[in-house]
Amino acid sequence: MEYHERPASFRQARLNPFDRGEEEGSPPGGKTPSRDELRPELFSSKSRNQSLDRAMDLGLAEDHFSRPVGSFVASDIEQLKMAIEECKRLILELPEHSERQKDTVVKLIHLRLKLQELNDPEEDEPNLRVLLEHRFSKEKSKSVKQTCDKCSTIIWGLIQTWYTCTGCYYRCHSKCLNLINKPCVRSKVSHQSEYELSICPEIGLDRQDYRCAECRTPVSLRGVPSEARQCDYTGQYYCSTCHWNDTAVIPARVIHNWEFEPRKVCRSSMRYLALMIPRPVLKLREVNPLLFNFVEELVEIRKLRQDILLMKPYFITCKEAMEARLLLQLHDRQHFVENNDMYSLQDLIDISSGRLSCSLTEIHTTFAKHIKLDCDRCQAKGFVCELCKEGDILFPFDSHTSMCHDCSAVFHRDCFYDNSTTCPKCARMTERKHDDPPDPKDK
């Protein structure tokens, strides 16, 4: 085995800060007093300042702790720990907000960075890791302070390597990656895109065997050995590591009670709800049809969505509308141009706050203006009431019109009644069908 000579500066840094010999004020004759003998002198300001300078020299000089060939030994880390403790003690004793105290704090930070570098030497970490359907991407941000979802401690981006799952945004230290036992929530969203629609379906701690529903850590309501925290979404109890008292809007409370107050949920429920919130999986007409009788905003939004679906055939056959990409104004709510009965949780939140009504009314006005005023081709696809043969050109999304459900002809609402009035267009089509001779191929 080949040994290398360590630099003189490193050997000097290895010296005990209380043991520097005659160069730094040792007694004549070169005899160095023991640490216990020096302890009373630390309470004098002169001696304390000298000791502080010696302690903070460790790791701050340019050549101190420069990485030599080979590795550091345990005594190097111990000396740094001693210097850090000395720094911390002196910070408390120095005058508050003094310049010397501020300088000492800065030097303490440098010492801690040196200690962290020795404890966790840099290694080449992969940029992408795949574990339990998580796709962990190595983070490059050094200034953002995050909390590790595995060990619940702070991630110091300046000195620690950390990863974030690109699917569910699970964050953890690189050293915690191999300890993860929770699968990615996005896989659950992909395979099971539906909400729990019972309000806080509690089963009780006894059914959970007095253990956390996720990690199986023993819990109790008394907090011994660990506090039991209930998730308002699942109704189950979790430990403080799996439940950080995060809050979220509960879908079941919105659908049944029209209640939007955020409730405490566990970490996995919070991620699941965050990923599900834009997905249109709520069919209110089936889950709670009576809600439309009590929430006027829902009725207004339903009418706007029905009108937009009636406008869609005009746009997909209009060259100008396709070039203007009018339908892309609803790109963040694509389901609005596909159906009128599916809602996302975000839709309901925006309906309650009034934001959706304002934005959708503006889009509805833009669409109607293109069809009725700006585009000649779309105007030519309008209707004339065949019952009264009076008035302007009619469109199916006009508020004063009615449409035949069989042939989609449009009439004035006062002229046409769904069951009591015969549609002239349907009558013509029926008569034409009887007059035309049967096709021999149909026999």
Percent helix, strand, coil in the chain, to 5, is: 45, 10, 45
Q: What are the Cα distances from residue 46, in Å, to 42, 137, 145?
A: 8, 52, 39
Q: Is the pLDDT of residue 70 over 80?
A: no
* pTM of the shown model: 0.64
The two tokens of residue 241 are 């590591």
Q: Are 9 and 66 spatial neighbours (Cβ–Cβ below 8 Å)?
A: yes
Note the pLDDT tens digit of each residue in 139-188: 876 666 788 888 888 888 777 888 889 888 888 888 888 888 888 888 77
Confidence category of residue 62, pLDDT binned at 50, 70, 90: very low
pLDDT score recorded for residue 178: 84
Q: Is the pLDDT of residue 440 over 60?
A: no
Note the pLDDT tens digit of each residue in 377-400: 999 988 988 888 877 889 999 888
Q: Are 385 and 410 spatial neighbours (Cβ–Cβ below 8 Å)?
A: yes
Q: Are 347 and 295 spatial neighbours (Cβ–Cβ below 8 Å)?
A: no
